[in-house]
Amino acid sequence: MNYDQKDLAETLDQSDRRKVLLFTGIPYYAQGVLALVMGVICFLNNNVYFGLLFIAFVFIFAVLGSEGFFVSEKRQTELVTSGLVSMKLLDLRKTGTKVSREDADSIRFRYDPIFREKIIDKVHEAQDKDYENRVHTAEAELKRLKKARVDKLNEIMLKRWIKVDEYLSYSPEEGRFNLQGQTYPFNAVRSAEINERTKRHFLTVYCTHLGVIVNISGFSREVVILDSEIEKSDEEYSEAFTKAARMTEAFQTISTMPVPSYVIPPDENPEVLALDEKIDEAEIRLNEEISHVPDYAVPARYLKEVD
């Protein structure tokens, strides 16, 4: 299908242009008439609210249908051209020429600037959305794998360390212990003993201080467990003394344990290494998705030649 030059919008006089613009507004005018009828029916039934609502729609459809009369000359030309294409397709159908939906779309895409603009916008929107979804999915997978790696490292570290109490923990696998935030090798422990001070008042015995003194590499430091006066018969004292005894025993155990010559770093764990490989693959996949920017190719159905 080819247009003769005389059918182009630029060759029409103002009267013909107005006719075409009115034609393009027919769908809106029809909806406006329907809204007007519904509004009248509502008023006749004393339903003022819905009546006013339908009247508002009448004005909206009137404005939409008359758009072509209030836009720039360039936009008006596009609207007129769009109307001409629609009228031509309508004439073809009236004369008995069969025009499939696909052929009509191809014709409109070639000659109708407004239809072409809508299709191109849809193509851009769809491909942009697909691109964003692909990148987002790849980013989410990479983020998930990195979190899994951190979680696995934390899990490995937690499994390596045995917690005695809030003051002391140790790792037989690494040959180290952590005392109040500081880490030492097992062979640094020289001795450990309970340090307790008491006083008696009549028949009651009080503990005024309770701690564990540990000798680390020749230097003594004390872990204070109780530093206030409390009866030795009190449950709180019993719990504190049990904690001190357990810590002393742990230090005695630690002092006899070997220090390994080599400790496998957590990030060399087979499970962590497997995650590292997956992370590398995910990073490659993400970069590929980022590089595959949309080409905004218009579907072939709009580009086919129609006789």
Residues 250 and 180 in one domain: yes
Domain ends where: 259, 284, 302? 259
What pLDDT does 237 receive? 95
Nearest to residue 254, comparing CAs of 174, 196, 180?
174
Judgement on whether residues 243 and 265 belong to the same structural domain of the protein? no
304 belongs to a structural domain: no
* Sequential pLDDT tens for the chain (307 residues): 454 434 455 555 555 555 555 555 556 667 767 877 887 888 788 887 777 886 787 667 666 555 654 445 566 666 667 777 777 777 777 777 777 888 887 887 888 887 888 899 999 999 999 999 999 999 999 999 999 999 999 999 889 999 999 999 999 999 999 999 999 999 999 999 999 999 998 889 999 999 999 999 999 999 999 999 999 999 999 999 999 999 999 999 999 999 999 888 999 999 999 999 999 999 999 999 999 999 999 888 888 776 5
Residue 169 covered by a domain:
no
Same domain, 128 and 271: yes
Nearest one of 245, 241, 243 to 233, comparing CA atoms:
241
Say if residue 49 is in the same domain as residue 118. yes
d(CA 158, CA 150): 12
Q: Are residues 105 and 194 in the same domain?
A: no
| Alpha-carbon 196 to chain mean position | 57
User: What's the pLDDT at 272?
Assistant: 95
> Does residue 225 sit in the same domain as residue 282?
no
Q: Which pair of structure tokens corresponds to residue 268?
A: 């060399």
- Say whether both 231 and 255 belong to one domain: yes
What pLDDT was estimated at residue 99? 76
DSSP state of 292: S
Residue 181 and residue 245 share a domain: yes
Residue 196, Ramachandran bin (φ over 0: left; ψ between -120 and 50: alpha; else beta): beta
Phi, psi of 47, deg, nearest 5: -100, 80
What pLDDT sits at residue 71?
Answer: 47
Q: Is residue 183 part of a domain?
A: yes
Determine which helix (DSSP H) or strand (DSSP E) holds 171, and give its type and residue range: strand 168-171
Kindly state whether residues 117 and 14 are assigned to the same domain.
Answer: yes
Q: Please check whether residue 275 lies inside any domain of the structure.
A: yes
Angle between helices 26-44 and 48-65 (to 10 degrees): 170
pTM: 0.61
Host H or E run for residue 203: none
Do residues 117 and 138 both lie within one domain? Answer: no
- By CB atoms closer than 10 A (0-12, 13-18, 19+), residue 215 is middle
- 218 and 143 in one domain? no
Give a yes or no: residue 70 inside a domain.
Answer: yes
Structural domain boundaries enclosing 156: 124-163+261-294
Q: Is residue 305 part of a domain?
A: no
Q: How many domains does the chain have?
A: 3
Give kind and range of the element (H or E) at residue 195: strand 189-201
Is residue 206 within 8 A of residue 229, CB to CB? The reply is: yes
Write b or e for each residue in 64-78: b if 16 or more Cβ atoms lie within 10 A of its Cβ, otherwise e: ebeebeeeeeeebbb
Which residue is listed with tokens 């086919």? Answer: 304
- Examine the domain organization and report whether 41 and 111 are in the same domain: yes
Helix count and strand count (H, E) for the chain: 8, 8
